[in-house]
Amino acid sequence: MDITLIYPHLPLIFAGLMGISILVYVVLDGFDLGVGILFPLAPTEDRDRMIASIGPFWDANETWLVLAIGILLVAFPAAHGEILTALYLPVTIMLIGLIARGVAFEFRAKAQASEKWLWNRIFFAGSLITALSQGYMLGIYTLGLQSGFQAFAFGILVAICLTATYAAIGAAWLIYKTEGKLQANAILWMKKALIFTLIGMAAISIITPLASDRIFEKWFAIPEIIALAPLPLMSGLFFIFTYWQLKHLPDETERFSLLPFIGIVAIMVLGFAGLAYSFYPYIVPEKMTIVDAASAPESLLIILFGTAFVLPVIVGYSIFAYRVFGGKATELRYD
């Protein structure tokens, strides 16, 4: 078999791997960021249980962000330079937030009761800063890395709405992992957060085609509009389904406690699919295509062998962790 036959497909393979890594990160780290965002709303006696619900997972979830950025760096170095240059400040703020919440997570577990208030606030602030910076970057990226007041305002709008989406999936995770009063509070939190999630997705859906004539054509030309129509329709159905399901919780049997989480994940996947469809074949919107930004085929082939080893390890560890620590959250101990 001539291995060079795979060369033309390598840029698309790595773009797909990077996209999947970003999506998995947004879902997995999204729920533990969401729990941190919801932290101030919970009574003091429930906060340890909230931490326990994400304790075994949060650091492993961030591995997917490292993988996505690593693929961008080694497989698409030109795009990495373009994107990171335009988003240098929000990326720096995001890293500060991630570091702050990681430190707070570990230190609060050992802190005296009189000192926990400080680490609680740092944990919340780190989670909020991370979510807002990621949302702002998404908004600026959607507009093709533009600058100016309009781009800034749209970035702020998306930042607020992505933060609400993280709060919604964090609440959904708490519905699944907890019970009693905390679960009841999480149901109320998710109902409110879903409204802002809907606003954010609607705003992106309206602004994105207006920002690019090419995307406008991809959305509204025939037959493209017919092929794309199921995405917003299915998203709307999942919003209705998820909100309806929340009205029937809590359920004493706990058979349906996972459904809100499945619903919000489906909404996020559909939104991500819409963005991916809109930007393809560009990796830097309107500036650089996936093929143009890719490394040399020989380099990509070597990187692919490394990825084929690393990716199954990450997936296997994640599945193992979620199986071992499945069920309702119990007391988190560091004895």
Any domain includes 4: no
DSSP 148: S
| Cβ neighbours of residue 32 closer than 8 Å, sequence gap 6 or more | 54, 57, 58, 61, 170, 173
Q: Each residue of 232-281: pLDDT tens digit?
A: 899 999 999 999 989 888 777 777 888 999 999 999 999 999 888 888 88
| Cβ neighbours of residue 231 closer than 8 Å, sequence gap 6 or more | 270, 273, 274, 277
Q: Each residue of 101-112: pLDDT tens digit?
A: 989 888 887 877
Any domain includes 334: no
Any domain includes 2: no
Any domain includes 151: yes
Any domain includes 333: no
CB-CB neighbours of 102 under 10 Å: 15
Any domain includes 189: yes
Any domain includes 331: no
User: The CATH number of the domain where 227 resides is what?
Assistant: 1.20.1630
Q: What is the mean pLDDT of residues 207-214?
A: 79
Q: Each residue of 21-80: pLDDT tens digit?
A: 999 999 999 999 999 999 999 988 888 899 888 888 888 888 899 899 989 999 999 998
Any domain includes 241: yes
According to the model, what pLDDT value does residue 229 have? 84
According to the model, what pLDDT value does residue 22 have? 93
According to the model, what pLDDT value does residue 209 have? 82
Give the chain's largest Cα–Cα span. Answer: 67
Using CA atoms, how far apart are residues 93 and 88, in angstroms rounded to an integer?
A: 9
Tally of structural domains, the chain:
1
Of 137-141, 206-210, 285-289, give the lowest mean pLDDT range.
206-210
Name the average pLDDT for the chain.
Answer: 87
Question: pTM for the complete prediction?
Answer: 0.92
According to the model, what pLDDT value does residue 4 have? 66
Q: Each residue of 146-163: pLDDT tens digit?
A: 888 888 988 898 899 899
Residue 14 has which token pair? Answer: 């790595």
Q: To the nearest 10°, the Cα dihedral for 130, 98, 22, 138?
A: 20
Q: Which domain holds residue 305?
A: 9-324
